[in-house]
A and B are shown apart, each in its own frame.
Chain A
Amino acid sequence: MSDLSAGGRLTSSSSSTALETPVLSIRDATFGYDERPLWSNLNLDVAQGEFIAIIGSNGSGKTSLLRAILGQEHLTAGEIKLNGKSISTGSRSIGYIPQSRSVDANTPLRGKDLLTMGLNGHRFGLPFTSRKDKARVSHILDCIDGHELAKLPIGQLSGGQLQRFRVGQAVVDEPDLILADEPLSALDLAQQSILAELIDRERKDHSAAVLFVTHDVNPVLGMVDRVLYLANGQFKIGTPDEVLRSDVLSELYGAPVDVVRNQGRIAVLGALGADHEHHAHEEWH
């Protein structure tokens, strides 16, 4: 892979956090179905509190990477460690924000139940919620401005309202790693920035690392430490300024790509499937 991804940036990042184990460590990871790897030799150390945007076109393997970290897909080669330990299927150290999608209107859950499940849903035993857990849920409701909506069935919430509770659910148990799978898709710009700020604030408060899969880097541009750009079976890792450049992305795609900056926003033009528009289908569903 390129110097940028395998060499310089990675070393500097791991040396700056040399004293702590990285929250997430991906080593020589290759993933693919049959002969065609979606990405290969991926190396990535994610430090505490680091915000990494994962960008790429459809079919580039963004969701597969998240699923591999969640232990729901197996790597073809390499390994992934969470807090220094090999991953298993899911973990309580992970807060997960699934893609925004509509919920059946009759789902018997209210907003605050979603939060409570994020806190104690994994726990066996008599289903009573402790006072401490209730207080924690109430605190998160403060954070997401959700007290008024907390008693509504989640099927009655708008997309943006539901995603606020999803963010709350992901952070309520103070995870070390937040995995967000296109949490902003299908939301309007105002809601996108509210949610992005919520996630940003939570990761700062609890120094949680964030892997944020998105089609559009703009809503999170101000908070992103590094970008992992997947395309064409290859990838680049680095700061937005290092990766989101015409020459770097052109090399990645093997075709001319224009990265246009305008008033603090970035648009990637020209690459097949790389345009910043919403795609109806995400890969592997």
Chain B
Amino acid sequence: MLFDFSDYAQLLPLVVNSLLAATLLGLMGGLIGIFVMNRDSSFAVHGISELSFAGAAIALLVGVDVVFGSILGSLAAAVLIAVLGSRAKERNSIIAVLMPFGLGVGILALSLYQGRASNKFGLLTGQIIAVDQPALAWLASISALVIVALLLIWRPLQFASLDPEVARARGVATSKLGYVFMVLLGLAVAASVQVVGALLVLSLLVTPAAAALRVTSSPKVAPLLSVLFALTASVGGILLAVGGGLPVSPYITTISFAIYLGCRAVAAARKRAARASVAKVSA
């Protein structure tokens, strides 16, 4: 059965931690997603998440904190991508080389792991109940750090991302900002992997921003919409997952995807309307 809301009131308190985590991830994912789009780094998100998975799997195997392992994996990937792939073309090939390696290492670690099987699966596809108190503390500190840092470097990072030539001429340290951004992205991915799993991180860090940028080109409205979409997907996904018997990630990814489709439809309708009004004027 896909949904069963009969015990909803009893179940909800059990997922309070998860809801808090989802709220933090929605805020962080929606914001950083704007820069992932502006810097054309979707593929980097995917690459980092695979290495984050590898880090988490190794941590699970050797019995240290999984969040710690996934942060280490993420940061290693982010720094490698930033240092080796300063040019866009190189970056994609570096990521394509790192990604299968990370996935392979992760699978190796999981197959050697003797513990509960659901732990294994959760790293790839996400889990709701798994957000315990220490994990929530990790998530809260990471997302607070990422959000505050992003807000403080917002203007120069936006300048460097969208208008790099002029930004450099004006003395903006574009390449240093690029490194800082990759580290923040690494942290954001590591945090997101805990809830949605390595395979589906894109649905929180890319899809909401991609949807927002379909319907607005205002640099103020876009991040607000993106955060709204990401929150809807993450919190809404968990609320639905409580009533359903499936892992949380299909709900999150489906909501996220539906919002994206909706935004494309809005953009297409606007284009048609604009064309019609032009035709009317010229007729």
A-side residues, CB < 8 A to B, are 70, 72, 88-92, 94, 96, 98, 106-110, 113-114, 117-118, 120-127, 153, 155, 169-170, 173, 179
Choose from B155, B168, B170 the contact partner of A124 (Cβ within 8 Å).
B155
Secondary structure class of chain A's binding surface, majority of residues: loop
CA distance A72 to B168 in the complex (A): 9
On whether the beta carbons of A122 and B159 are closer than 8 Å, the reply is: yes
* Given A92-B171, A125-B152, A153 and B166 contact (CB-CB distance below 8 Å): no
- Interface core residue of A72, A108, A122, A127 (most chain B CB under 10 Å): A108
Is A121 in contact with B158, judged by CB distance below 8 angstroms? yes
Contacts A/B (CB < 8 Å), 21 sampled: A70-B168, A70-B169, A89-B171, A89-B173, A90-B170, A94-B171, A96-B170, A108-B34, A108-B37, A108-B213, A108-B217, A114-B163, A117-B158, A117-B162, A117-B163, A121-B159, A121-B163, A122-B156, A122-B159, A122-B171, A155-B217
Closest A residue to B212 using CB positions = A108
List chain B positions with a Cβ less than 8 A from chain A: 34, 37-38, 151-156, 158-159, 162-163, 165-173, 213, 216-219, 222
Q: A122-B155, A123-B155, A126-B152 are in contact. Are A108 and B219 (CB under 8 A)?
A: yes
Question: Shortest Cβ distance from B209 into chain A, in angstroms?
Answer: 10
CB pair A121–B218 under 8 Å, yes or no, is no
Q: In the bound complex, what is the Cα–Cα distance between A110 and B213 (angstroms)?
A: 13
> A126: which B residues are within 8 A, CB to CB?
151-152, 154
Residues on the A chain within 8 Å of B172, using CB: 90, 121-122
Contact status of A91 and B170, CB under 8 A, knowing A117-B163, A122-B159, A126-B151: yes
* Distance in Å: Cβ of B221 to nearest Cβ of chain A: 9
A143 to B170, CA, bound (A): 22
Closest 4 CB pairs of A and B: A96-B169, A121-B159, A90-B171, A127-B154
* Bound CA span A9–B165, Å: 33
- Residues from chain B with a CB closer than 8 A to the CB of A121 are 155-156, 158-159, 163, 167, 170, 172
Q: Name the residue of chain A whose CB is nearest to the CB of B40.
A: A104
Residues of B near A127 (CB, < 8 A) are 151, 154-155, 158
In the complex, A216 Cα to B162 Cα: how many Å? 30
Q: A96 touching B165 by the CB < 8 A rule?
A: yes
Closest chain B CB from A113 CB (angstroms)? 5
Residues of A with C-beta under 8 A to B218: 108, 110, 113
Chain B residues with CB under 8 Å of A124's CB are 152-153, 155-156
Contact present for A107 and B170 (CB under 8 Å): no
A98 to B166 Cα, complex, angstroms:
7
CB–CB B170/A92 < 8 A: yes
When distances are taken between beta carbons in the complex, the residues of chain B under 8 Å from A125 are: 152, 155
- Alpha-carbon separation in the docked complex, A238 to B155 (Å): 41
Residue of B nearest to A123 (CB): B155
Partner of B217, one of A72, A91, A123, A153: A153
Q: Which of A94, A107, A121, A124 has the most CB of B within 10 A?
A: A121
Q: Beyond A121-B156, A121-B158, is A109–B163 a contact (Cβ under 8 Å)?
A: yes
B-chain residues with CB within 8 Å of residue A179 when the two chains form the complex: 169
In angstroms, Cα B167 to Cα A127, docked, is: 16
For B171, the chain A residues whose CB sits under 8 A away are 88-92, 94, 122
CA separation between A107 and B168, bound complex, in Å?
18
Instruction: Report Cα–Cα, A98/B163, bound state, in Å.
Output: 10
Given contacts A108-B38, A124-B156, contact A94 B169 (CB under 8 A): yes
The docked-state distance in angstroms from the alpha carbon of A107 to that of B161 is: 10
Instruction: Name the B residues within 8 Å of A113 (CB-CB).
Output: 218-219
Cα separation A238 to B170 with both chains bound (whole Å): 29
Chain B residues, Cβ within 8 Å of A109: 162-163, 217, 219
B273 to nearest A CB, angstroms?
15
- Verify A107–B162 contact, CB threshold 8 A: yes
